[in-house]
Amino acid sequence: MTYLRRLLPTALALTAVLVIVWAIWATISLRAAAQDVQAARDLLADDSSLTLESFLTGDLDVIALEAEVLLRQANDRLDGPAMAPARWLPVLGRQIDAASSISKSLADLISVSVASGQQVRAAIDGDQSLDEQFATIAESLGRVDNTLDELDLGPDSALIGRLSEARIELDAELADLDEAVSSATLVARELAATPNLTCCLSRTTPR
């Protein structure tokens, strides 16, 4: 019993040290994750780089993939061992779950979008007919559309501060993007299904 009494203060002190170390590690991981997400957001918010020319040349892919790497890093930090204990906390855990889901969903969307863009450029630069090009475009846009429909941004209630605002803004932006991609997919499918599209366009093109 005396031995246990002597051991107890040491055990409590060790536990306190471990808690402090974990808190520091978790804080650093959270801060680093937030910085990664902000850096990705800054890359994608640069309107000067988001142009049709940058898409057609593939320069936009470089920017998008940089953003994807940052978002994957943020997700890895949020899903890492430092955050595991915090996920059990009712308030903080919800914030971490939401931030993790958002970073992963956006990274997945970028990955699919870049791959689809590469397929579209290959079709445009190749020797496919217009019908085949539009079929490829429709297929590529369809994959992006499906990805948008299946995105899971995590919990949307009881979020705090900037995360809550970002979640609301992201919901609206993704809804607009989903509508635009869905419309473009339908148009591409209709054009791909138009009989003799190449012939029809060649007849209407002024000489």
Chain centroid offset of residue 2 CA: 57
107 pLDDT more than 60: yes
Q: What is the pLDDT of residue 18?
A: 46
Q: Give CA separation, 143 vs 46, 114, 181, 194, in Å.
A: 25, 11, 10, 21
Q: Mean pLDDT across the stretch 138-159?
A: 90
Q: What is the pLDDT of residue 132?
A: 87
- The predicted-structure confidence for 28-77, as pLDDT tens digits, reads as follows 556 677 778 878 887 777 655 556 567 667 778 888 899 999 999 999 98
Please report which confidence band the pLDDT of residue 142 belongs to, taking 50, 70 and 90 as the band edges: very high
141: exposed, middle or buried (C-beta count within 10 Å: 0-12, 13-18, 19+)?
buried
Which domain does 74 fall in, by range? 2-204
27 pLDDT more than 80: no
Q: What is the pLDDT of residue 22?
A: 45
Domain count, the chain: 1
Q: What is the pLDDT of residue 68?
A: 93
Contact (CB, 8 A) for 91 and 160: yes
